[in-house]
């Protein structure tokens, strides 16, 4: 999978891509990630990337020309990306579904803005998508860009060592994860649930599915509307809501 990131802070983006699962996948050649310094695509002596907003008002706006030149360079050096994503609080909310869609694209460019934003003509000419990672204000699109790359890269075959852990992931099935424990079996007076040390693998699977469903019901009931539940899980939900009705 190929990514290209356009930013005024390439060191920040490279630092975020150097460690962990993504860093390893990059080293192994599974991910080809180009990080491009927007200032390299300026033509003036001072490498200026921003200017005052037409119409007045506070702050600065990122100039269109460096982004246009960066996109032309990416296309000629690395091929035309299937998706060009602008990170912005005005974008469609990023989700696991969106990550899956981008993973199917094969080559994704990410445009990271700073200041008040990017000249609208950049989006008009180049963007196929505008994505927000959540309703809070950040100082730039670099962290959102890293978030998108991380979530998409995990879906590329071989990037995460254990493919099973990707499918079983929280959101792999549209549910929250079950609780995890490791040794020691008792710590600080707190015991690991007995079923997990019982060796009854059928019971363990059942307990985990119930825990995942319970947690989703309690913390994120909205996810149940779209989760892929099997017949057991639908039955457990009916049981729990019947019990609840009795004891209320």
Binding residues (CB under 6 A) for ligand 4GX: these are 86-89, 113-114, 117-118, 132-134, 136-138, 140-141, 144
* Residue tagged active-site, from 27, 44, 72, 116: 116
Q: Assign residue 156 a region (left: φ > 0; alpha: ψ between -120 and 50; beta: otherwise).
A: beta
Q: 45, 39, 19: which is closest to 149 by C-alpha?
A: 19
- The secondary structure of the chain in percent helix, strand, coil, rounded to multiples of 5, reads 45, 15, 35
Cβ-based nearer residue to ligand 4GX, 51 or 232? 51
| Catalytic status, residue 89 | yes
CB of 42 to ligand 4GX, least distance (A): 18
DSSP 185-223: SEETTEEPPHHHHS--HHHHHHHHHHHHHHHHHHH-GGG
| Catalytic status, residue 28 | no
| Catalytic status, residue 169 | yes
Cβ-based nearer residue to ligand 4GX, 94 or 207? 94
| Catalytic status, residue 154 | yes
Cβ-based nearer residue to ligand 4GX, 93 or 100? 93
CB of 9 to ligand 4GX, least distance (A): 12
> Which residue number places its CB atom closest to ligand 4GX?
113
CB of 90 to ligand 4GX, least distance (A): 6
Q: How far apart are CA 156 and CA 208, in angstroms?
A: 26
CB 123 within 8 A of CB 175: no
| DSSP label of 114 | B
CB of 238 to ligand 4GX, least distance (A): 39
Q: How far apart are CA 213 and CA 114, in angstroms?
A: 40
Question: Catalytic residue numbers?
Answer: 89, 116, 154, 169
């Amino acid at each position: 999978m190929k990514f290209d990131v356009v930013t005024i802070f390439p060191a920040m983006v490279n630092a975020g891509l150097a460690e962990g699962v993504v860093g390893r996948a990059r080293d192994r050649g599974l991910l080809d990630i180009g990080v491009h310094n927007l200032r390299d695509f300026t033509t003036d002596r001072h490498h200026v990337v921003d200017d005052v907003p037409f119409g007045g008002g506070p702050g600065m706006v990122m100039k269109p020309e460096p982004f246009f030149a960066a996109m032309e360079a990416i296309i000629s050096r690395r091929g035309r990306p299937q998706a060009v994503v602008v990170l912005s609080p005005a974008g469609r909310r990023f989700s696991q579904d969106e990550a899956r869609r981008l993973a199917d694209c094969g080559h994704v460019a990410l445009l990271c803005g700073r200041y008040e934003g990017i000249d609208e003509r950049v989006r008009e000419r180049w963007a196929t998508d505008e994505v927000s990672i959540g309703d809070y204000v950040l100082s730039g699109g670099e962290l959102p860009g890293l978030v998108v790359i991380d979530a998409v890269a995990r879906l590329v075959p071989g990037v995460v060592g254990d493919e099973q852990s990707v499918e079983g992931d929280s959101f792999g099935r549209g549910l929250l994860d079950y609780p995890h424990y490791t040794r020691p079996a008792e710590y600080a007076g707190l015991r690991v649930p007995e079923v997990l040390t019982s060796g009854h693998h059928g019971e363990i699977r059942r307990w985990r599915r119930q825990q995942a469903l319970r947690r989703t019901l309690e913390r994120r009931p909205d996810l149940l509307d779209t989760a892929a539940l099997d017949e057991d899980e639908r039955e457990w939900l009916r049981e729990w809501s019947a019990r609840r009705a009795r004891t209320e």
